[in-house]
Amino acid sequence: MRGKRLVYLDNAATTQKPQQMIDAIARYYTHENANIHRGVHHLSENATEQYEAARARIAGFVGAGSEREVVFVRGATEGINLVAAGIRRRIGRGDEILITAMEHHSNIVPWQMLCEETGATLRVAPIDDDGALRMEEFDRLLTNRTKMVAVTHVSNALGTINPVAEIVRAAHSRNALVLIDGAQAVPHLRVNLKALDCDFYVLSAHKLFGPTGVGVLYGKESVLAELPPYQGGGDMIRSVTFERTTYNDLPYKFEAGTPNIAGGIGFGAALEYLECMNWDAIAEHEESVLRYAESALAAIDGIRLIGTAAAKTGVVSFVLDHVHPHDIGTVLDQEGVAIRTGHHCAQPVMERFGVPATARASFAFYNDHSDVDALVSGVRRVQEVFG
């Protein structure tokens, strides 16, 4: 890249893809292309089998209790919006929705919209100077008026890992539903959703080495069964007349229209690839890379790390004295180093730390210490350019 060895450190935005995932998508379009669920011919039956096999693989990967609890959506964002729309009838004036100050915009805006529609109140649990959730404040804000708790598992801007098991237990003690945004967690942490006991969990395939345009909403079967459909159309129905429509079984009730068939099949292939890995070894390796990066960057004069919680993964955000993050990113690009700069769809986080934006390096299992060395060298080059 730019005549240099590419160092890809933008994994929190999207990950690179294994060849077998790419091959699975190409094979579907080249040899197996057909619509699913409604055809009786061989191609349709084969495509349906592959698509549903991917659903089963996803259920196993995240520890769902049943394939009926795995709803295909376009990504984590659509999953959150689906839940926000589905619980609207349960929310009224005087009710409260509790989130945290480290949320991605996709876990803020849908709840703001819901509050505007219903007269409910949005409550925000604060974070400390290290970027960790202040649990004593979370517990204070969690009351009998709380109907929904929606929190990120891992912050995309800070890398902070939230104590989601503790959050779920506390919320359920108040009879509140819990949604966990797992988009940044599942590439780094193994989850067992049945054991976690959250009501909803969302993730995006493209952050988990899969294709763009496909994601998953996990929901407890008992909870999903009570929610109304999010969209109307084909395949989400059992029968339609002009007088009345009855809806399909789970999870198809929430999957109107032709889905991203190739994306679902590709996601299944990506998970098959990941299942062959030693996740304990991956966790140890990623922890080593993260701590090495934090130490190396902190040693540079003029750098301030944003997000230094004890429990974190995958992300190092920083600012550099007298240099805008966009300029940092531009110079690093000339050095072959790809990072993300900006507010990372987390403007309240930027406001909390008094910065307009940060430079963010985010890691995957294929990054190593040499990538960090290239990042550090690139930052020193930034200092040379800007004096």
Catalytic residues: 345
Q: Where are the alpha helices (DSSP H) in 220-368?
A: 221-224, 261-275, 279-298, 325-334, 347-353
Beta bridge partners of 317: 306, 360
Cα–Cα distance for residue pair 66/64, rounded to 1 Å: 5
Cα–Cα distance for residue pair 246/202, rounded to 1 Å: 27
The CB-side HSE value for 289 (13 A sphere, CA atoms) comes to 27
187, 207 Cβ separation under 8 angstroms = yes
Burial 140-163 (b: 16+ CB within 10 A, else e): ebbeebbbbbbbbbbbbbbbbbbb
Peptide bond preceding 251 in cis form (omega within 30 of 0): yes
Tokens of 154: 């891992």
Tokens of 274: 């990941």
Name the one residue in this structure whose structure tokens are 């190409």. Answer: 26
303, 350 Cβ separation under 8 angstroms = no
377, 27 Cβ separation under 8 angstroms = no
Please, which residues have CB within 8 angstroms of residue 214's CB and are 6 or more apart in sequence?
72, 73, 74, 75, 204, 205, 206, 260, 263, 264, 266, 267
Tokens of 220: 């407890």
Beta bridge partners of 304: 319
CB neighbours of residue 42 within 10 Å: 10
If we measure between CA atoms, which residue out of 209, 202, 207, 319 comes closest to residue 254? 202
Tokens of 173: 């003690």
178, 198 Cβ separation under 8 angstroms = yes
Beta bridge partners of 359: 318, 341
